């Protein structure tokens, strides 16, 4: 099949389009049938860059960064130290004092290393020592939740849904059936195909099955031939995108699922239709696939025959129920309201209070905190940073362990034994838990040395 752009039909100067912008995911997916300039590069300036910039704090929290850059995206924060505000642009939590000069918002105070501060002040009497390990520190970040209801977001979501659906159906070239969504993506005009799911139970169902911070895409065909794609963006909000009212005859795969996790892993399902996959799944439960194992206390015991297992079988019942809801639901929101705002704030709280205990996040933390020449770590009992606390405790557990070399299996073993609730590699830390973990570490007079030992093991962990 000749390759042609799915937006305009051109058969030359095609490129590899990141279906989800590279800066918003660690698990990249591509569509190769997009022309390089008009319908790939220019989308970044049209709407993607606005969304990426607004979500910088979220991607930092989830340890997501573009493969094209060395640093995580920067975000604006107000740091309050000893009652004084400092406006900073950060690439992560650990840049506040890291070999930099920071000025207060009113330009009356400055914090730096003692030697540098004396040099700047030109008078040692004007410089006052400050122990960063004991001061009270508060970080405030403004989340631009308006971006989740902005036309730029809706155009990006439409692009994701359209390019993903086309890629799973090997679509090459432009089809008139996609006219409406293509017009909205390329010009921002016409009917907006995006709406917002506002049923909290749906969020709970997906949260129970999907790793926090993941992207989820689910496509299905309605009875009237309409193709909808459901997109859960980081788990913060769930959107419905109408890709087409009438699918082209060439689109044969209309039950699709992709889950893109922050650790770069993924799960995918591809089937022709909901009816087909339901029939296939429930056929497994048919009596013909079971044999008698005898009678116990008058009860006939049946066990399944040795049949080929279905990958990701646990997903199917959940997806069947979700699609049943999505087909019948007619109460999607078209913009922000009290219900949607409450869902967003609840989901945001879960993400900002959670630490994904995986290799990527722990290695990033160690490299930023335990850099060459750093001072020995002394924890501050007065400050609160839940993500940092759980990561410090993870490094502490690694330092205490007798394991010399780390791998993923050993890491999870150490964490599951040391953290009562870390069985799912996600750990919600409330105020009580944060204080408990701090107290455990600080009650060990050698905790600073244990942290150094743990950090060294992480640094020696081969990629």
In this prediction, residues 140-154 reach a mean pLDDT of 91
Q: What local confidence, expressed as pLDDT, does residue 7 receive?
A: 97
pLDDT above 90 (res 98): no
Using pLDDT thresholds of 50, 70 and 90, give the confidence band for residue 347: very high
Assigned domain for 390 exists: yes
Q: What local confidence, expressed as pLDDT, does residue 423 receive?
A: 44
In this prediction, residues 73-99 reach a mean pLDDT of 80
Which residue has 């959107």 as its token pair?
239
Directed axis angle between helix 431-442 and helix 386-400, to 10°?
40
Q: What local confidence, expressed as pLDDT, does residue 20 receive?
A: 97
Assigned domain for 38 exists: no
pLDDT digits (tens, 9 = 90+) for 183-217: 999 999 999 999 999 999 999 999 988 877 899 99
More confident residue, 75 or 237: 237
Q: Return the structure tokens found at 238.
A: 């769930």
Assigned domain for 75 exists: no
Q: What local confidence, expressed as pLDDT, does residue 306 receive?
A: 65
Using pLDDT thresholds of 50, 70 and 90, give the confidence band for residue 427: low
More confident residue, 457 or 122: 457
Using pLDDT thresholds of 50, 70 and 90, give the confidence band for residue 415: confident
Number of domains composing the chain: 2
pLDDT above 60 (res 18): yes
Separation of alpha carbons 356 and 235, rounded Å: 14
pLDDT above 80 (res 230): yes
Assigned domain for 144 exists: no
Domain of residue 358, residue span:
353-459
pLDDT above 60 (res 431): yes
Lowest mean pLDDT among 43-57, 73-87, 204-218: 73-87
Assigned domain for 417 exists: yes
Q: What local confidence, expressed as pLDDT, does residue 178 receive?
A: 98
Q: What 3-state DSSP class applies to 454?
A: helix
Under DSSP, the state recorded for 386 is: H
For the chain, give the percent of residues with pLDDT over 90: 51
More confident residue, 9 or 424: 9
Query: What is the full DSSP assignment across 264-285?
Result: S-EEEEEES-HHHHHHHHHHTT
Assigned domain for 46 exists: no
pLDDT digits (tens, 9 = 90+) for 367-395: 888 988 888 899 888 777 788 888 999 99
Choose the final residue of a domain: 131, 166, 182: 131
Count of CB atoms situated within 10 Å of the CB of 442: 14
Which pTM was predicted?
0.82
In this prediction, residues 423-436 reach a mean pLDDT of 70
Q: What local confidence, expressed as pLDDT, does residue 42 receive?
A: 93
Using pLDDT thresholds of 50, 70 and 90, give the confidence band for residue 354: low
In this prediction, residues 424-444 reach a mean pLDDT of 80
In this prediction, residues 32-57 reach a mean pLDDT of 94
Using pLDDT thresholds of 50, 70 and 90, give the confidence band for residue 132: low
Q: Return the structure tokens found at 319.
A: 């997806």
Assigned domain for 392 exists: yes
Separation of alpha carbons 365 and 360, rounded Å: 9
Assigned domain for 391 exists: yes
Q: What local confidence, expressed as pLDDT, does residue 432 receive?
A: 84
The answer to whether 142 touches 55, Cβ cutoff 8 Å, is: no
């Amino acid at each position: 099949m000749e390759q042609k752009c799915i937006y305009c039909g051109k058969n030359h100067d095609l490129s590899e389009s990141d279906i989800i912008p590279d800066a918003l995911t660690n698990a990249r997916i591509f569509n190769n049938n997009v022309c390089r300039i008009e319908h790939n590069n220019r989308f970044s300036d049209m709407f993607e860059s606005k969304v990426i910039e607004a979500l910088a704090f979220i991607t930092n929290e989830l340890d997501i960064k573009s493969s094209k850059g060395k640093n995580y995206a920067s975000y604006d924060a107000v740091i309050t130290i000893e009652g004084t505000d400092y406006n900073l642009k950060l690439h992560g939590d650990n840049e506040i004092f890291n070999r930099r000069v920071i000025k207060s918002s009113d330009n009356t105070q400055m914090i730096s290393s003692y030697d540098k501060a004396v040099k700047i002040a030109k008078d040692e009497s004007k410089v006052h020592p400050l122990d960063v390990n004991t001061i009270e520190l508060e970080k405030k970040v403004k989340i631009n939740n308006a971006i989740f209801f902005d036309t730029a977001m809706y155009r990006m979501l439409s692009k994701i849904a359209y390019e993903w659906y086309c890629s799973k159906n090997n679509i090459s070239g432009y089809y008139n059936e996609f006219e409406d969504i293509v017009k909205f993506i390329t010009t921002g005009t016409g009917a907006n195909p995006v709406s917002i799911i506002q049923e909290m139970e749906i969020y709970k169902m997906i949260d129970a099955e999907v790793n926090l911070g993941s992207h989820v895409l689910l496509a299905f065909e309605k009875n009237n031939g309409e193709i909808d794609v459901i997109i859960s963006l980081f788990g913060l909000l769930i959107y419905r995108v109408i890709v087409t009212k009438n699918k082209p005859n060439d689109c044969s795969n209309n039950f699709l699922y992709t889950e893109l996790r922050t650790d770069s892993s993924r799960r995918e399902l591809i089937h022709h239709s909901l009816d087909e996959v339901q029939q296939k799944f429930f056929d497994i439960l048919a009596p013909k696939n079971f044999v008698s194992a005898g009678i116990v206390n008058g009860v006939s015991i049946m066990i399944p025959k040795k049949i080929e297992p279905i990958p990701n079988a646990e997903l199917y019942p959940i997806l069947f129920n979700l699609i049943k809801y999505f087909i019948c639901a007619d109460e999607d929101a078209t913009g922000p309201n009290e219900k949607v705002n409450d869902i967003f704030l609840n989901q945001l709280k879960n993400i900002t209070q959670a630490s994904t205990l995986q290799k990527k996040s722990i290695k990033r933390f160690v490299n930023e905190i335990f850099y060459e020449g750093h001072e020995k770590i002394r924890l501050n009992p007065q400050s609160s940073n839940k993500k940092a606390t759980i990561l410090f405790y993870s490094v502490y557990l690694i330092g205490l362990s007798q394991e010399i070399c780390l791998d993923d299996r050993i890491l999870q073993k150490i964490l599951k034994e040391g953290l009562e609730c870390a069985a799912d590699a996600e750990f919600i830390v409330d105020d009580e838990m944060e204080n408990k973990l701090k107290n455990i570490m600080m009650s060990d007079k050698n905790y600073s040395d244990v942290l150094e030992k743990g950090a060294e093991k992480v640094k020696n962990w081969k990629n």
